[in-house]
Amino acid sequence: MIKRQNRVALATLLLFLILFISTGSVLAAMPSFGSGEGVYLLDPDTGDAFAKQNEDSRYNPASTTKLMTALVAMDYIKDRLNERVTVGEEITQIDADSSVADLAPGDTYTWEQLLYGLLLPSGNDAAMTMAVNIGRLAQNDPALGTNAALDVFIGLMNKKAEDLGLTKTHFANPHGLVDANHYTTPREMAQIAKAAFGVSTINAVASTPSYTCVSSNGQAHEWENSNILIHPTVSEISRSQVEAMNLTGTENPYYNPNAKGGKTGYDEAAGRCLVFSGQNGEMHLVGVIFKASDQRDIYAQADGALDTALKDYSHILWSDGQSPYVKTMVSFASVLDGFSISASTKGDAASTVLTTEKDSYSVQVKWDDRLLAEKGNHVRILAPITEGQQIGTLDVYSGSTYIKGIPLYADQAMSPLGWVDYLIMGGVLLLVVLLVVVLVRYRRRKRNQAVYNLRRAEAGYHFEGIKEAEMGAFEEPRTEDEGQTPLPKSFLDMEAAESEDQPSMPMRARLGGKTRYRLKRIRRQ
């Protein structure tokens, strides 16, 4: 008995282990984050978040600010990457112990070289040089003073944030050194990173492990990317990071083959900050981690987030935006606008979901009740709609849990019934009434004419110009001596019937259809 119980217990334990191990091998968990950390892991293709924590809280972004610096600069640099720029006294305004690219006043670099100096070693000197020169370029004033040009550039940074729809972000400098008026949130930083990595030049620079160049004065530079997620070996990482993280051996334990561009940041007040991106097939990730306490922790978190997001998640495409997603009948709409309205998404409408939970997702159309009211299998229009106006949402559910609403936009303009419509409908109704009256009078006149023709025929008239196709064949051929047209057979039959005092045939049959005939008096013998 005891042995049997032991066997059952052992079998249960083995089954549990098998399920646990197999589940763990298929579905990895997101890493854990410290309670004070700000986290936003964004799928840039769908706008969904893989994970988030304190996503709308205010943080100092430290040197991750430089992604916005690069984004604003590229608005003005465009295709002039090889144009040379002179380093000025602006670089003396930064703290001596801040991260630099070792630029020297009077040296010249191309815009492209400055981008590498900005994003790889996180050079505050490169940030200042780019900001001042872009400020002058924006004002079309090469002689604009350093501080004035810097203020112009900072204004452009905040204008860019506004253009991106960011409401909890403000910049006070181009490098990210701590300032009470310099802040953002993890959610909004993810939007900045998405926009920056969407610029091919910035993405290429931020994804480069290392870069070498020589200034106009012959100063050689070798800059390593401070984002160690993209370095396969320890030897590729800067010496200062290797020592700070106590990295040993050959292989970098934080290397992730799916990692792409990124930007690091650190300040004693801001803590460890990291913006990173990755791709695996169709899946993309833009991640933000603010205020981590340790470099090793933040890279372990980013590495784990990349693995989970890019391997265990997939997309559900609800609409491709190329054709209307929904079309429905509309009541009380202007007769000039038709009787149905269609709505579409702008571009692809998709959801990012755990692959194992795909079957639990569904969508439902919800109309804006200020514009359209649900009425069973149709909607009633309540207010004017313009083409391209949002008129509802495509609501996504996981089971019965609401996930998000995807905007639906009108494919055509439509208005409720107005006085013009009532005039048109009144005119149509009047026309119908007139047509009915005319038709009734026409039929009545035909009927009266038929009765008149019949009575004249009974009184001794015959048909002249009879249509053989409608009245039947003649009983006797016409002769020259007779000088008149013989009566049709049907008419002769009618006379024979009447001569025997039989009831007359129905009027329509006797007249042989609806054709009107001209009658001629029969000459009596």
Q: Please state, rounded to an integer, the average pLDDT across all residues of the chain.
A: 86
In this predicted structure, the answer to whether residue 47 has a pLDDT above a threshold of 70 is yes
CA distance 227 to 229: 6
CB 144 within 8 A of CB 136: yes
Domain 27-311 sits in CATH at 3.40.710.10
DSSP codes joined into one string, 237-255: S-HHHHHHHT--SSB-TT-
Residues 93-130: pLDDT tens digits?
Answer: 998 788 999 999 999 999 999 999 999 999 999 999 99
CB 277 within 8 A of CB 287: yes
Each as own residue / partner, the long-range contacts of residues 22-29 (CB below 8 Å, 24 or more positions apart, any chain) are: 26/312, 26/356, 27/312, 27/354, 27/356, 28/304, 28/307, 28/308, 28/311, 28/312, 29/308
Residue 88: per-residue pLDDT: 96
CA distance 396 to 360: 10
Residue 206, token pair as written in the block: 């931020």
Residues 146-184: pLDDT tens digits?
Answer: 999 999 999 999 999 999 999 999 999 999 999 999 999
CA distance 407 to 391: 8
Residue 15: per-residue pLDDT: 44
Active site residues: 63, 66, 122
Cβ contacts of 156 within 8 Å, gap of 6 or more: 72, 75, 134, 135, 138
In this predicted structure, the answer to whether residue 401 has a pLDDT above a threshold of 70 is yes
Residue 332, token pair as written in the block: 């009380």
Q: Kindly compute the dihedral angle of the four CA atoms of residues 103, 104, 108, 114, in this order, to the nearest 10 degrees.
A: 10
Residue 7: per-residue pLDDT: 53
CA distance 82 to 411: 45
Q: Is residue 525 very low, low, confident or very high in pLDDT (cuts 50, 70, 90)?
A: very low
In this predicted structure, the answer to whether residue 475 has a pLDDT above a threshold of 50 is no
CA distance 104 to 327: 64
Secondary structure class of 495 (helix, strand, coil)? helix
Is 3 labeled as ligand-binding?
Answer: no
CA distance 20 to 344: 43
Q: Check: pTM over 0.85? Answer yes or no.
A: no
Nearest to 292 by CA among 275, 272, 274: 272
In this predicted structure, the answer to whether residue 289 has a pLDDT above a threshold of 70 is yes
Residue 460: per-residue pLDDT: 61
CA distance 257 to 248: 20
Across 432-450, average pLDDT: 87
Across 361-379, average pLDDT: 94
Residues 315-346: pLDDT tens digits?
Answer: 999 999 888 999 999 998 888 888 899 999 99
CA distance 118 to 141: 24
Nearest to 300 by CA among 37, 22, 27, 25: 37
Are β-strands 340-344 and 401-410 bridged in parallel, bridged antiparallel, or unpaired?
antiparallel
Residues of the chain with CATH 2.60.410.10: 320-417
CB count in 10 Å sphere of residue 424: 14
Nearest to 129 by CA among 66, 172, 179, 219: 66
Q: Which of 262-266, 282-286, 287-291, 474-478 has the lowest mean pLDDT?
A: 474-478
Residue 364, token pair as written in the block: 């439902």
Indicate the class that CATH gives domain 320-417: mainly beta
Residues of the chain with CATH 3.40.710.10: 27-311
- 2-18: b or e for each residue (b if 16 or more CB lie within 10 Å)? eeeeeeeeeeeeeeeee
Residue 513: per-residue pLDDT: 47
Residues 13-33: pLDDT tens digits?
Answer: 444 444 333 333 345 689 999
Residue 343, token pair as written in the block: 């709505």
Q: Is residue 496 very low, low, confident or very high in pLDDT (cuts 50, 70, 90)?
A: very low
Residue 335: per-residue pLDDT: 80
Q: Is residue 486 very low, low, confident or very high in pLDDT (cuts 50, 70, 90)?
A: low
Residue 470: per-residue pLDDT: 46
Q: Is residue 5 very low, low, confident or very high in pLDDT (cuts 50, 70, 90)?
A: low
Beta strand extents in 311-377 (DSSP E only): 313-319, 326-331, 340-344, 349-354, 361-367, 372-375
Residue 515: per-residue pLDDT: 47
In this predicted structure, the answer to whether residue 381 has a pLDDT above a threshold of 60 is yes
CB count in 10 Å sphere of residue 207: 17
